[in-house]
C-alpha cells in the first residue's frame, strides 16, 4: 500500500530506528541450527519494533539466508541446474488474480529479453492465520521465481537479472494497475534468499513455513526488526534489503537522493549499452532511507566494485583529521569524496552478498554493534548483546565494532578479516594518491590576486538594509563570530514567532531550519568533535560512476564553505588549469518589473546558467553584487535552489 500526502501529513517527515543482527558459521558450514538461532535473535529484538492497534501487525521483520539448493531440488516440480547456476527470489504479487498474472508475464518477458529462462514458479507455503488484520489488507500473494542463466554466467548473469528486474519494476510501477505497489522482489540472486513481511518477529517462521523445515540449511543469516519511523510500514519496506539492513538514520538523505538523480545522466557502460537508460531512476521515489541506500549499493556493485569497497564509499570513516591513518587509505577516501558524498548519520549497517558477511559503523559510533565468536565456530553480531543464549565456556572472544570500522567475515577462508587489512587491500587497487596530486586543486594553494575594488557599490550600511540585516544580528551574531571566530550561543528558550506566523517582514532564510538527526541524536559540535566533522567541499564536474579514473578528482577543493571576498576572487579568476572554466552570472533584476518580476528573473537566471554549462563552464558563481535602488537581488537561497533543481531537469553536465 502506497502512502501519499494528505492534509498536513507528508511521508517525508517520517523517521526510523530499528534492530539488526546476523549469525554465520566461520568455516562456512551450513545447518538448520543457524536459522533457529537467527530467529532467536529476531525475537530478542522485538522491543526494537512496534505493534499496530490490532495487536498483531508488526512494523516489519525479515531474515536473509543462503539459497537452500538441496531443499528446492526436492520440493520443486521442475528440474534445477547446479547450485550457483540459477537465481531465485520470493516475489510479492497483487491480490487480484488478473493483476498477478499480468505482473508475472511482464517479469517473464523481461527475463527472456535478457536471454534468461524462467525455469518455473513455486507457490510459497504461508500461514495466513498469523497475519494481523491491518497487515492482511495489503498482504501480497507470495511466489518464488527460478531463473536459469543460459549463456551468461557469474557477474554477467547478475547484471542481466538486475536489468530485467529494474525494467519490470518500472513498467509495472507505471502501468496504472490498482495494485501495482504490491509487486516487489525482495531479492533476485544466485546466492541468497529473503523472507520478510509486515509481521511480528516471532511470526516470521510461522508465516513462512519453509523456515521450519529441517532440510532448509544455510551458512549465514541476517535478520532485522524494524521500527518504521522513516516511512509508513509496508510489506516491501520490511528489512533486510537485497544487500544490507540498517539500524539508524540517514540524515543526509535528501541531498543524497538529489545528487544521485543528477548523476544518472552521466551513466555509461559498454556492458549495459542502451539498457542503462532503461533501468533509471536508480532509486525508486518514495522508499525509506534504508531502501534507497540499498538501491545505490546495488548500482555501485553493478559497476564491478566489491561490496566492502561500496560500503567504504558510502559510509567512510573519519579520515580528514586523522594523522595516524595510512596514506593509501586516506587517498582512497579523499578520492571517493569527489565521487560520492557519504550517506551519513548514526548507523550500523550489516551487509552481505552471500560471499562476505559483515557490518560497518558510522564515523560517530552512535549505534552500538557488538559481536561474539564461539568455540564451535559461530560469529554473532547484533545491535545489542544477549541476543543468543551462550554460556561462558562457549565463548572464544567478544568484541565491538568501533566508529568508522568494518567487521568482515570471509567464510571461504574461515576467518574474520581485520578492518585495516580489507581497507588497505581495497585502497591499493588504484593509484589514488597519485591521481589526487595530479588532479585535485586546493583553494588554499592558489595564490591571492590583487582583489579589485568594486566601484559603484552602495555604502555598506545601505547594502545591509537591502539584505535585511538588523542591529541585533550585527551586534549579537556577526560581531561575536568576527571577534571570537565561533558560532554565538544563546539561550534555549526563544519566544520569537516562527517566520510563517510573524506579522513582520522576514528574510527568506528564516523560513528554513537546518536538518540533523531525525530521532535520537543531538547536533554535533564541529569544534569539540572536530575529528569526526568535516565541512570541506569540492567544485567541478561529476563523472560517470561506472568508471574508476583520475577525472573524478579533477576538482577544486574548498576547506570551508564560508569564503572571503579574496577567496571568491581566486576562484573567479583561476587560470591554472584548463579543465576549470568559471562563469559569473548576476542574480539581479529590475525592482520595478511588477508582480512577475521575480519569477521572470528566476527563469532568466536558469537559462543563463544552462547556457554557461553548455558552453563548458563547470563552476558557476551566482552574484548579487551591485544591488541598488533600481536592481534588486534574488534571495541567494531561492536562486541556488531554483538553478540546482532546474539544471537537473534541463541539462546534463558536459564531459
Q: What is the mean pLDDT of residues 486-506?
A: 77
Query: Is pLDDT above 80 for 494?
Result: no
Mark out the alpha helices in 121-216 (DSSP H runs): 133-137, 154-173, 204-207
- Quick check: helix, strand or coil at residue 217? coil
Q: What is the mean pLDDT of residues 545-570?
A: 91
C-alpha distances in Å from residue 562, one per residue of 44, 418, 528, 559, 624: 48, 39, 19, 9, 16
pTM: 0.90
- Quick check: helix, strand or coil at residue 258? helix
Position 526 scores a pLDDT of: 67
Q: What is the mean pLDDT of residues 54-63?
A: 79
Query: Is pLDDT above 90 for 16?
Result: no
Euclidean distance between CA atoms 481 and 80, whole angstroms: 70
Euclidean distance between CA atoms 651 and 180, whole angstroms: 31
When pLDDT is cut at 50, 70 and 90, the band that residue 521 belongs to is low
Position 35 scores a pLDDT of: 95
Query: Is pLDDT above 80 for 229?
Result: no
> Residue 112 corresponds to which cell in the numbers above?
527472456
Euclidean distance between CA atoms 400 and 269, whole angstroms: 40
Position 57 scores a pLDDT of: 76
Q: What is the mean pLDDT of residues 13-31?
A: 77
When pLDDT is cut at 50, 70 and 90, the band that residue 86 belongs to is very high
When pLDDT is cut at 50, 70 and 90, the band that residue 553 belongs to is very high
- Per residue in 616-626, pLDDT (tens digit) is 898 999 999 88
Q: Name every residue whose Cβ is closer than 8 Å to that of residue 562 and which is 6 or more positions away in sequence.
A: none
Query: Is pLDDT above 50 for 567?
Result: yes
Euclidean distance between CA atoms 246 and 359, whole angstroms: 10
- Per residue in 360-369, pLDDT (tens digit) is 999 888 888 8
Query: Is pLDDT above 50 for 653?
Result: no
Going by C-alpha positions, the residue among 98, 321, 66 that lies closest to residue 191 is 66
Position 217 scores a pLDDT of: 97
Half-sphere exposure of 491 (CA within 13 A, CB side): 4
- Quick check: helix, strand or coil at residue 621? strand
Q: Are the beta carbons of 347 and 247 closer than 8 angstroms?
A: yes
Q: Are the beta carbons of 288 and 231 closer than 8 angstroms?
A: yes
Query: In sequence order, what are the beta bridge partners of 397?
Result: 373
Which of the two residues, 652 and 181, has the higher pLDDT score? 181
Euclidean distance between CA atoms 69 and 81, whole angstroms: 10
Position 366 scores a pLDDT of: 80
Euclidean distance between CA atoms 372 and 394, whole angstroms: 10
Going by C-alpha positions, the residue among 583, 573, 581, 654 that lies closest to residue 622 is 583
Position 654 scores a pLDDT of: 39
Position 1 scores a pLDDT of: 41
State which H helix or E strand residue 418 sits in: none
When pLDDT is cut at 50, 70 and 90, the band that residue 525 belongs to is low
Instruction: Tell me if the bond preceding 313 is cis, omega within 30° of 0.
Output: no
Euclidean distance between CA atoms 549 and 161, whole angstroms: 27
As a whole number of Å, the CA-based R_g of the chain is: 27
What torsion, rounded to 10 degrees, do the Cα atoms 494, 496, 499, 504 define? Answer: -160
**The one catalytic residue among 18, 103, 245, 553:** 18
Query: Is pLDDT above 80 for 555?
Result: yes
Q: What is the mean pLDDT of residues 287-312?
A: 94
Q: Is 18 a catalytic residue?
A: yes
When pLDDT is cut at 50, 70 and 90, the band that residue 655 belongs to is very low
C-alpha distances in Å from residue 406, one per residue of 317, 531, 644: 9, 18, 35
Taking residue 291's Cβ as centre, other Cβ atoms within 10 Å add up to 20
**For the chain, what is the mean pLDDT?**
87
Structural domains of the chain, with CATH: 68-158+178-190 (3.30.70)
Q: What is the mean pLDDT of residues 450-477?
A: 79
Query: Is pLDDT above 80 for 513?
Result: no
β-sheet with 537-539: strand ranges across: 441-442, 556-558, 537-539
C-alpha distances in Å from residue 563, one per residue of 321, 558, 570: 20, 9, 10
When pLDDT is cut at 50, 70 and 90, the band that residue 457 belongs to is confident
How buried is residue 53: exposed, middle or buried, by Cβ count under 10 Å (0-12/13-18/19+)?
A: exposed
Question: What DSSP line would sit under 322-391, residue for residue?
Answer: -TTS-HHHHHHHHHHHTT-----SSEEEEEE-SSEEEEEE-TT--S--EEEEETTSEEEEESSS-SS---
Q: How far is CA 377 from the centre of its chain?
A: 33
φ/ψ of residue 335, rounded to 5: -60, -50
Give residue 76's region: left, alpha or beta (phi > 0; psi -120 to 50): beta
Query: Is pLDDT above 80 for 15?
Result: no
Euclidean distance between CA atoms 381 and 371, whole angstroms: 4
Q: Which residues of 303-339 are buried (b: 16+ CB within 10 A; e: fewer)?
A: bebbbbbbbbbbbbbbbbeeeebeebbbbbbbbbbbb
In the chain, what percentage of residues exceed pLDDT 70? 90
Q: Are the beta carbons of 552 and 335 closer than 8 angstroms?
A: yes
Position 492 scores a pLDDT of: 60
Position 648 scores a pLDDT of: 75
Mark out the alpha helices in 174-230 (DSSP H runs): 204-207
Taking residue 199's Cβ as centre, other Cβ atoms within 10 Å add up to 28
Position 307 scores a pLDDT of: 95
Q: What is the mean pLDDT of residues 332-341?
A: 95
Amino acid at each position: 500500500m502506497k502512502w501519499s500526502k494528505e492534509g498536513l501529513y507528508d511521508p517525508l517527515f517520517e523517521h526510523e530506528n530499528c534492530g539488526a543482527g546476523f549469525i554465520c558459521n566461520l568455516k562456512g558450514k551450513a545447518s538448520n541450527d543457524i536459522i533457529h538461532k537467527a530467529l532467536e535473535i529476531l525475537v530478542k529484538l522485538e522491543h526494537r519494533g512496534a505493534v499496530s492497534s490490532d495487536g498483531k501487525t508488526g512494523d516489519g521483520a525479515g531474515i536473509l539466508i543462503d539459497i537452500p539448493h538441496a531443499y528446492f531440488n526436492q520440493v520443486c516440480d521442475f528440474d534445477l541446474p547446479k547450485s550457483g547456476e540459477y537465481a531465485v527470489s520470493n516475489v510479492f504479487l497483487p491480490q487480484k488474480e488478473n493483476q498477478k498474472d499480468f505482473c508475472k508475464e511482464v517479469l517473464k518477458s523481461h527475463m527472456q529479453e535478457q536471454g534468461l529462462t524462467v525455469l518455473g514458479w513455486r507457490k510459497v507455503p504461508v500461514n495466513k492465520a498469523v497475519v494481523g488484520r491491518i497487515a492482511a489488507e495489503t498482504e501480497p500473494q507470495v511466489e518464488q521465481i527460478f531463473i536459469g542463466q543460459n549463456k551468461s554466467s557469474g557477474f554477467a548473469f547478475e547484471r542481466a537479472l538486475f536489468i530485467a528486474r529494474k525494467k519490470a519494476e518500472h513498467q509495472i510501477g507505471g502501468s496504472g494497475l490498482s495494485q501495482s505497489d504490491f509487486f516487489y522482489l525482495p531479492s533476485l540472486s544466485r546466492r541468497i534468499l529473503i523472507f520478510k513481511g509486515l509481521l511480528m518477529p516471532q511470526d516470521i517462521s510461522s508465516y513462512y513455513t519453509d523456515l521450519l523445515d529441517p532440510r532448509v540449511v544455510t551458512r549465514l543469516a541476517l535478520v532485522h526488526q524494524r521500527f518504521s519511523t522513516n516511512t509508513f510500514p509496508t510489506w516491501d519496506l520490511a528489512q533486510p534489503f537485497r544487500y544490507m539492513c540498517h539500524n539508524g538514520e540517514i540524515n543526509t538523505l535528501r541531498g543524497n537522493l538529489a545528487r544521485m538523480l543528477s548523476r544518472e545522466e552521466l551513466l555509461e557502460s559498454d556492458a549495459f549499452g542502451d539498457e542503462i537508460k532503461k533501468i533509471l531512476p536508480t532509486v525508486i521515489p518514495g522508499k525509506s532511507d534504508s531502501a534507497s541506500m540499498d538501491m545505490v549499493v546495488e548500482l555501485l556493485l553493478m559497476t564491478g566494485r566489491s561490496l566492502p569497497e561500496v560500503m567504504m564509499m558510502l559510509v567512510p570513516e573519519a579520515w580528514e583529521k586523522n594523522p595516524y591513518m595510512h596514506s593509501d587509505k586516506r587517498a582512497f577516501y579523499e578520492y571517493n569524496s569527489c565521487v560520492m558524498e557519504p550517506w551519513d548519520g548514526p548507523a550500523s549497517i550489516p551487509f552481505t552478498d552471500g560471499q562476505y558477511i559483515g557490518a560497518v559503523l558510522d564515523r560517530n559510533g552512535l549505534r552500538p554493534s557488538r559481536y561474539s565468536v564461539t568455540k564451535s565456530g559461530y560469529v554473532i553480531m547484533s545491535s545489542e548483546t544477549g541476543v543468543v543464549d551462550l554460556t561462558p565456556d562457549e565463548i572464544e572472544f567478544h568484541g565491538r565494532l568501533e566508529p568508522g570500522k568494518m567487521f568482515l567475515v570471509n567464510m571461504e577462508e574461515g576467518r574474520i578479516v581485520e578492518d585495516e587489512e580489507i581497507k588497505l587491500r581495497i585502497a591499493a587497487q588504484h593509484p589514488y594518491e597519485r591521481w589526487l596530486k595530479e588532479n585535485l586543486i586546493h583553494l588554499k594553494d592558489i595564490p591571492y590576486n590583487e582583489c579589485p575594488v568594486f566601484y559603484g557599490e552602495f555604502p555598506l550600511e545601505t547594502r545591509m538594509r537591502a539584505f535585511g540585516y538588523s542591529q541585533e544580528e550585527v551586534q549579537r551574531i556577526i560581531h561575536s563570530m568576527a571577534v571570537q571566530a565561533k558560532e554565538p550561543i544563546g539561550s534555549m528558550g526563544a519566544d520569537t514567532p516562527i517566520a510563517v506566523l510573524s506579522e513582520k517582514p522576514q528574510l527568506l532564510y528564516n523560513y528554513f531550519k537546518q536538518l540533523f538527526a531525525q530521532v535520537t541524536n543531538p547536533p554535533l559540535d564541529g569544534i569539540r568533535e572536530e575529528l569526526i566533522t568535516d565541512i570541506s567541499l569540492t567544485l567541478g564536474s561529476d563523472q560517470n560512476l561506472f568508471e574508476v579514473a583520475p577525472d573524478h578528482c579533477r576538482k577544486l577543493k574548498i576547506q570551508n564553505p564560508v569564503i572571503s571576498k579574496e577567496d571568491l576572487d581566486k576562484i573567479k579568476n583561476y587560470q591554472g588549469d584548463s579543465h576549470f572554466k568559471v562563469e559569473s552570472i548576476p542574480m539581479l533584476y529590475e525592482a520595478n518589473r511588477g508582480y512577475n518580476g521575480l519569477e521572470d528573473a528566476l527563469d532568466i537566471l536558469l537559462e543563463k546558467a544552462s547556457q554557461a554549462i553548455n558552453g563548458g563552464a563547470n563552476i558557476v558563481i551566482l552574484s548579487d553584487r551591485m544591488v541598488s535602488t533600481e536592481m534588486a537581488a534574488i534571495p541567494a537561497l531561492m536562486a541556488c535552489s531554483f538553478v540546482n533543481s532546474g539544471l537537473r531537469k534541463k541539462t546534463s553536465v558536459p564531459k
